[in-house]
Chains A and B, each alone.
Chain A
Amino acid sequence: MYKALLKAEFLKIKRKWIWGLVFLGPFGVIALEALNFGLRYDYLTDLYKDDLWKGLIGEANMLSVFALMLGATLVASLISSLEHQSTSWKHLLSLPLSKTKIFMGKFSLAFILLTTSCILLAIGIVILGISLGFGTDISIALLLKTCFYPFLAALPVVALQLWLSIVLNNQALPLAIGIVGSIFGGALPRWTIWSWPSLSNQWDKPIINVCLGIVVGLILLGFSTVHFTKKDVNS
């Protein structure tokens, strides 16, 4: 059943610029890093002379966390607006499908799209590093951690944004929360979900944020699914 649901979801985003966004996110990060290293090549290569790749990945990470959260906000809003604008919720929910599956279908779509962005980011960093002449001695583990740990730690943000965007017809509030969260996330107290993707904590163990993200993300997803299935469909 999920296969059919996902197939339908991917059909719906055909010719929408959601795909553009999936590419634009990582592309933007790589482009800005290319500019960063292009302008300050000597300074930065000197700064990171011990491990050029680590330097590049670290620089990219600062931007990618912001791009990831903003991307999650926009993806969640866009895939929900698709149904709001076409007033399709009522029709979708009068199909012989469980409401839980419909909600999970949307979450799966958001998850797959954001995962694609993370993969593209990893590929982009490798291409940029090689073209900057950093060689091929890449720490794959560090690269993957940098690209995917923030995403897993951002799962609560993804779940929250998706829930708000689906439940509210007007996207102003979910967008405002998402954008403010992405910009100030790192500066917010450590207990807020928006600070988690930066992976910093007092124990200096990023894996804690990742685990917290997965657990809280699943809990939030559970709650929002239950709320969605119980809600009257008026629009």
Chain B
Amino acid sequence: MENILTANDLTKKYKSDAVVNRINLQIPRGAVYGFLGPNGAGKTTTIRMLLGLIKPSHGSISVFGKDLRKNRIEALKEIGALVENPSYYGHLNAIENLEVYRVLRKAPKSKIKEVLEIVGLEKAAKKKVKEYSLGMKQRLGIAIALLGDPKLLILDEPTNGLDPQGILEIRTLIKSLAKERGITIIVSSHLLSEIDQMATYVGIISKGRLIFQNRIEELRRFASASVSFTTSSPEETFKHIVSYGIQAYREEEKIMVEAEDEAIAKVISLLVRHGISIYRVEENKKSLEDIFLDLIKEEGTNVQSTFKSRIS
């Protein structure tokens, strides 16, 4: 698939500290790209570079096949953005806020009504924006981003600080924008669960490095399930299973076995034969969030170990 945006070796250094370290992004056309990472991992800095707000220390960005540095204004015509908290003029109402940006983008007047409908703010359009709830402000931010009929929408933490209802609304909105209008969307978040149900691609950034980038299905494949056994005597259970040649490990009173149908059947008959009472057999599926946290943790320990080896 063709990439609508690519970043090569993108780096941003403040003094000698690399906040974003040689990351390579590939955003395929039509994707909803979940850009994930804990707070302070470099998400916002990366997004600011993608919008030309910050100059990269190193590396290049190409949008719609053109170099961003040389074609900033051309590229920005096709991009709508919401960076962190939405920018709105509190003393103006939604229509007036949109009018400011409509004039600057030279969009037709009819666009205002259209984007208000898309984000569902028609009823509150005449209310001063400072009286809006956070969710409404966020939706206004998206409406502003949609004014220029963007091909690429960049949303930085659009669900940050919203209640579950608000998160759901934004999620539904993003999904429908991608599906019905074919807009490519980059959406950043520090919670995988928030973008889980809408992202088709995922990029994970940790400590300024991109540690994963692929389809979300690939990430799900890491989600190997295991089955845990709770029995009358964990000690014996573990010994029997291992001596039978099945891989297992103990987690306190539970014995964990990889979730393979044959293996489970064997373990159960084995335990029954040895007269061990089986209290519980449970399947534990790793959630995407667990994988995400594991990936970040791994990255963290790697960094630590290299740091340690450098000292010694």
Contacts and interface: CB of A to CB of B under 8 A. Distances in A.
Interface in A4-45: 4-5, 7-8, 11-12, 14-16
Contacts of B106: 4
Interface stretch (A93-101, A124-132, A145-153, A169-177): A93-101
B71 to A, nearest CB: 10
Contact of A16 (B53, B91, B99, B148): B91
B271 to A, nearest CB: 61
A16 B96 CA distance: 13
A11 B96 contact: yes
A82 interface: yes
Nearest to A82: B89
A86 B89 contact: yes
A9 B79 CA distance: 22
Contact of B103 (A8, A88, A98): A8
A92 B85 CA distance: 14
B105 interface: yes
A205 interface: no
B79 A94 contact: yes
B246 to A, nearest CB: 55
Main secondary structure of the interface of A (DSSP, over half): loop
A122 to B, nearest CB: 31
A96 B91 contact: no
B235 to A, nearest CB: 58
B53 A86 contact: no
Contacts of A94: 51-53, 76, 79, 81, 83
A234 B55 CA distance: 11
B48 A90 contact: yes
B89 A12 contact: yes
Given A94-B51, A232-B53, A88 B87 contact: yes
A87 interface: yes
Contact of A233 (B53, B85, B148): B53
Nearest to A94: B51
Nearest to B91: A15
Which of B48, B87, B104: most chain A Cβ within 10 A? B104
A109 to B, nearest CB: 13
A9 to B, nearest CB: 9
Nearest to A6: B103
A90 B87 CA distance: 8
12 contacts: A4-B104, A11-B99, A12-B92, A16-B91, A85-B90, A86-B88, A93-B53, A94-B76, A94-B79, A96-B77, A98-B73, A234-B48
Interface of B: 48, 51-55, 73-74, 76-77, 79, 81, 83-85, 87-92, 96, 99-101, 103-106, 144, 148
Among all A-B residue pairs, the 6 with the closest Cβ atoms: A91-B87, A88-B87, A96-B76, A233-B53, A96-B77, A94-B51
Given A4-B106, A8-B101, A94-B51, 7 more contacts: A8-B103, A90-B48, A90-B87, A91-B87, A232-B53, A233-B53, A234-B54
